[in-house]
Amino acid sequence: MRGPHNIWRLVRTLATLERTGANQLVLKEVEAPAGVRAAARALGWPLKWLGDRGDETLPPATRALTALGPAYIKFGQILSTRPDVVGPDLAVQLRVLQDKLPPFPREVAMQTIAQELGVPAEDVFSEFSEPIAAASIAQVHKARLATTGEEVAVKVLRPNVERNFRKDIDAFYLAASSIEFLSPASRRLRPTDVIRHFDGVVTGELDLRVEASAAAEFAANTEQDAGFNVPKVIWPFSGKRVMTLGWAEGAPLGDNAALDAAGHDRYQLGERVLSMFLLHALRDGFFHADMHQGNMKVAANGDIICYDFGIMGRIDEYTRRVYAEILYGFIRRDYRRVAEVHFEAGYVPADRDIDEFAQALRSVGEPIFGMDATHISMARLLAYLFEVTERFGMRTRTELILLQRTMVVVEGVARSLHPSINIWQVARPIVEDYIKESLGPRALTRDLLRTARVLARFGPHLPHMAETALIRQSQDPAPVSRRPVALPALWMGAGALLASGLIGLVALL
């Protein structure tokens, strides 16, 4: 429940960060200004005794986030993929949040299964292991089906996770609204909308039926993608709090030593992670939006196995084309075209100068090209990008949050596999292929055909629509010279006839 009581939650957050030592550590690793660090210490130190101690066996940042709850853990998972932003030491600490959190007892998981499926867990699974991976929202067990003997992975939600997440997200709403109230300049970033989007995404993750459906759709989309696999859903043994998938055997993608020992080429794996994300986002408009190392394995044959489909992203075809054109413009270093696309899509207010915006984009892009990826500071680049968006009044696009966030995460995963991977080089052939397919003559023909089909559907209604429009015009008491011309229905009729003709022509061809 939202309300002033969440102020206490935010106070406890700051106090916990200070008490565990995470406050200053994180600010130091992200190279926060000295003034910011001093202000954080001044605010946090007097409240330190109010914070949670957390698990003292864990490093400071991990200790703080696990003590604070699932929503904070999700944030830490994102940071764990960005050693170039938070530093390599902190990234390693936070990686524990991906799948190595303290588990809940096996017996509790079996009780949840019995309640959800309506039969004892022992009747469903002949074998049921201790937890093999535990994350912020659920944990996974290896099991064997009693009926077929097939090995499976069983995902079970944590007890009370819905309530705990609700407390976190309510505090986030309060923080976002407070920021908007105290800093009008922040409103262009739409913090409350961002939290609302995050709320919707993770709320969906708390219903494993939604995740199972997403896994099935994702598997169907990627069935023909070489070197990429998705486990199948075992529907009879899946529900709201339990999901059963086929077992996926492989080395963790985050364990470079294990990958090297198995003889895998980490550079190729990093390229494939990047290329698969871009392919799924552009080709399908449906992509895995939580592609950190804890959600991927590498099979013995080198295939990447992807799982945990609680957070998936979806973007419409128009947005995909805009996104592709922006990427393509950066790849070609055509900053003028990138600027034009931003204005055409409404991402930049129309009263801003397009040439100045193009120049600003050049100052962002040029330092990247020709530079070894290991020398690029993503933290400084993101800080400069923030300055550019602020200067030109760009507002946060909530429909692109998952896409942008996942791109940052995926690049971080790829560079953790091999630091010299450059996202622009990997993206070029995929984006070029998409541009040819979606923005060329074939795409125009396809769009016209779709439009014709839509118009043709109105055919049976056209006589009535035309009659109604003409009757209304004849009954209008206004002078003839001021009556609206009853052309819409007539134009619709002509359009439908044209549409029918086009569809017939295409059918003949």
Indicate which residues carry an active-site annotation. Answer: 290
- Residue 377, number of CB atoms within 10 A of its CB: 13
H or E segment to which residue 67 belongs: helix 60-68
Which value, to the nearest 10 degrees, does the dihedral of the CA atoms of residues 110, 161, 250, 282 take?
140
Compute the distance between CA of residue 294 and CA of residue 317 in angstroms, rounded to an integer: 30
Distances (CA, A) of 436 to 37, 150, 283, 431: 49, 44, 12, 9
Cα four-point dihedral sign 214, 216, 219, 220? negative
- Grouping H, G, I as helix, E, B as strand and the rest as coil, residue 382 is helix
Compute the distance between CA of residue 257 and CA of residue 166 in angstroms, rounded to an integer: 38
H or E segment to which residue 152 belongs: strand 151-157
H or E segment to which residue 359 belongs: helix 354-365
Place of tokens 């549409």: 499
- What is the Cα gyration radius of the chain? 27
Compute the distance between CA of residue 417 and CA of residue 224 in angstroms, rounded to an integer: 25
Check if the beta carbon of residue 270 is closer than 8 Å to that of residue 415. yes
CA angle, 143 then 149 then 155, to 5°:
25
Compute the distance between CA of residue 433 and CA of residue 420 in angstroms, rounded to an integer: 24
Cα four-point dihedral sign 156, 161, 163, 165? negative
Distances (CA, A) of 385 to 308, 333, 347, 388, 503: 31, 16, 14, 5, 47
- Residue 478, number of CB atoms within 10 A of its CB: 9
Exposure on the CB side of residue 488, measured as CA atoms within 13 A: 8
Distances (CA, A) of 448 to 94, 312, 435, 445, 506: 50, 30, 18, 5, 11
Check if the beta carbon of residue 70 is closer than 8 Å to that of residue 91. no
Place of tokens 């000295």: 34
